[in-house]
A and B are shown apart, each in its own frame.
Chain A
């Protein structure tokens, strides 16, 4: 049987071993640090200079699987908007007052549940933005201008924070930038093992490296091209040794027959490998879909068991496991976490106040309160 388009895409990615087939460079991006890093680290990969991206993007959109096809090539271009934005969160959920920097768009990995499949459907190229100096300038200006305000910033909103780092070396720019600002904290969120560059930098306590965690069974079934759980833990251990604080996101939690044993073992494994005092925060969130994303998943990953969960459409337009089921899941996870570490800071991602109340016995009064608790925790 011929491999599906999504399966073919999986063949070019591997938890940190991603290698683009080609680098497309838009005129105006053929100089500068990112371009030079790509040239240096991908000596055998063809580079193609294009006047503008229209033809490349039109060709991409005409394929049967633009999102998957887009991952095979790196597109280097300038970003014309503002790099730093407030995380949009989800309507009706307790938000954590987070800012995002988008240095790239799309991701070389291929998680079947990834919301980017829907979010970037019209813009599926795997882009890296070449004007890093603009990004850093914007961050410096903002942090200097509002010294009384504390910024918690992440780069993993529409890409993986580290999966492309072996080629673009973005960490060598962004970590020193945050290291010099006492009123900012950077979170690098990843499912990769790409920390070789990070561990040679000094974060000065201003960088948290965090991993999305799932049992190996879920990784094998639905997180294609990502690092294994042991590789993620080994990468985390190296970061911890290098002076980074760590974060773990048990998100998306997937419910299946035997999930309790797998997740309990995973929590125990995390705390057996790592020093819990170096863990800045843990978050929990169940699998979330939208009807649009489910349609795409049906086409791209028809065999995924995730489509058959007892998910209900909520008032924010997202589908989650029905309320009592997910509260039960969170309580069990919290119990296992508390057994391993009674004091580590745990929060919920994109959940309502009612769920917070039933899981923790309280809900933050506002996003500012939760944001401040997270900052205090690290």
Chain B
């Protein structure tokens, strides 16, 4: 098994330090990670990030790497024959992030749900920073004329009374976390 992991590391130019972490896993965990890595053709950066997350989850939830990689929310993605490598990798990463940072991702999803519920016109965009750092709401208004801008600002004023806006701020300021 170690030989196969070393060989994968050589092919994908994985750093020695990262490879050592992999080699220190139990045989069962190392094996399933190899299968997973080969399927997704994982390089150094993703491997390191996944190792971090899985190690932290394994400790927190008292589970093995095998439990995580073979879980009902992860395995169907990386074994789905209909998906290409990039889609698999993106979706696996999203799901691993959700498992690693459950409350952050829950807050992000609740905020997105409320923004969608508001049904904003395409000229008005509400967004939040990456991982909610900064705790602010960003507003973008696109306008090609003075008249249009006046109309959009009027609509914005109405929007501010909606409960969803207040709820978004409750999430951003920790009230709803």
Residues of A that sit less than 8 Å from B by CB: 294, 298, 302-303, 305, 307-308, 310, 312, 314-315, 322-329, 331, 352, 354-355, 358
For window 132-171 of chain B, which residues contact chain A by CB distance below 8 Å?
A: 132-136, 171
Give chain A nearest CB distance to B111 CB in angstroms. Answer: 10
Chain A interface main SS type: helix
Number of residue pairs across A and B with beta carbons under 8 Å?
68
Residues of A contacting B175 with CB < 8 Å?
A: 328
Residues on B with C-beta less than 8 A from A303 are 59
Q: Does B103 contact A (CB under 8 A)?
A: yes
What is the distance, in angstroms, from B142's C-beta to the closest C-beta of chain A?
26
Check B132 against A324 for contact (C-beta < 8 Å).
Answer: yes
Dominant SS at the B interface?
A: helix
- Complex Cα distance, B175 from A310, in Å, reads 17
Quote the shortest CB–CB distance from B176 to chain A (angstroms).
8
Residues of A within 8 A of B172 (CB): 323-324
Whether a CB of chain A sits under 8 angstroms from the CB of B118 is: no
* Residues in chain A near residue B55, CB distance under 8 A: 298, 307
Residue among B132, B133, B134 having the largest count of chain A Cβ atoms under 10 Å: B133
CB-based contact A354/B136 at 8 Å: yes
Chain A residue nearest to B108 in the complex (CB): A322
B82, CB-defined interface residue at 8 Å: no
In order of increasing CB-CB distance, the 10 nearest A-B pairs are: A328-B174, A308-B60, A327-B174, A324-B174, A312-B131, A323-B135, A308-B56, A322-B104, A324-B177, A358-B173
B104 cross-chain contacts in A, Cβ below 8 A: 310, 312, 322, 325
A331-B133 CB under 8 A given contacts A303-B59, A312-B104: no
Cβ-defined contact, A307 with B56, below 8 A: yes
Q: Are B59 and A324 in contact, with the CB atoms below 8 A?
A: no
Chain B contacts to A: CB under 8 angstroms: 52, 55-57, 59-60, 100-104, 107, 131-136, 171-177
B101 touches A322 (CB 8 A): yes
B12–chain A nearest beta-carbon distance, Å: 20
Cβ A322 vs Cβ B131 within 8 A: yes
For the complex formed, measure the closest distance between the CB of A312 and the CB atoms of chain B, giving whole angstroms. 4
List the A side residues contacting B100 at CB < 8 Å. 310
Q: Which residues of A contact B59 (CB under 8 A)?
A: 302-303, 305, 307-308
Choose among A302, A308, A324, A331 the residue that contacts B171 (Cβ–Cβ < 8 A).
Answer: A324
Contact A325/B177 with A298-B55, A310-B101, A310-B104 known, Cβ cut-off 8 Å? yes
Q: What's the nearest-Cβ distance from chain A to residue B85, in Å?
A: 26
Selected contact of A305 from candidates B60, B101, B131, B134, CB within 8 Å: B60
A212 to chain B, nearest CB (A): 24
Chain A min CB distance to B29 (Å): 15
From known contacts A298-B55, A303-B59, A322-B104, infer whether A312 and B133 are also in contact, taking CB-CB under 8 Å.
yes
Q: Is the CB of B173 within 8 A of A327?
A: yes
- In the bound assembly, the distance between CA atoms of A352 and B135 in angstroms comes to 10
5 pairs across A/B with beta carbons < 8 Å?
A298-B55, A312-B131, A324-B107, A324-B171, A325-B103
Return chain B residues, CB-CB under 8 Å to A305.
Answer: 59-60
Q: For the complex, what is the distance from the CA of A358 to the CA of B60, rounded to whole Å?
A: 30
Q: B60 to chain A: which residues have CB within 8 Å?
A: 305, 308
- B30, chain A: closest CB distance, angstroms: 17
Across the two chains, which residue of chain A brings its CB closest to B111? Answer: A324
Q: Given A305-B60, A331-B174, does the pair A323, B103 have CB atoms closer than 8 Å?
A: no
Cβ contacts under 8 Å, B135 to chain A: 323-324, 327, 354-355, 358
Asked whether, in the complex, the Cβ of B56 is within 8 Å of the Cβ of A328, the reply is: no
CA distance A354 to B134 in the complex (A): 6
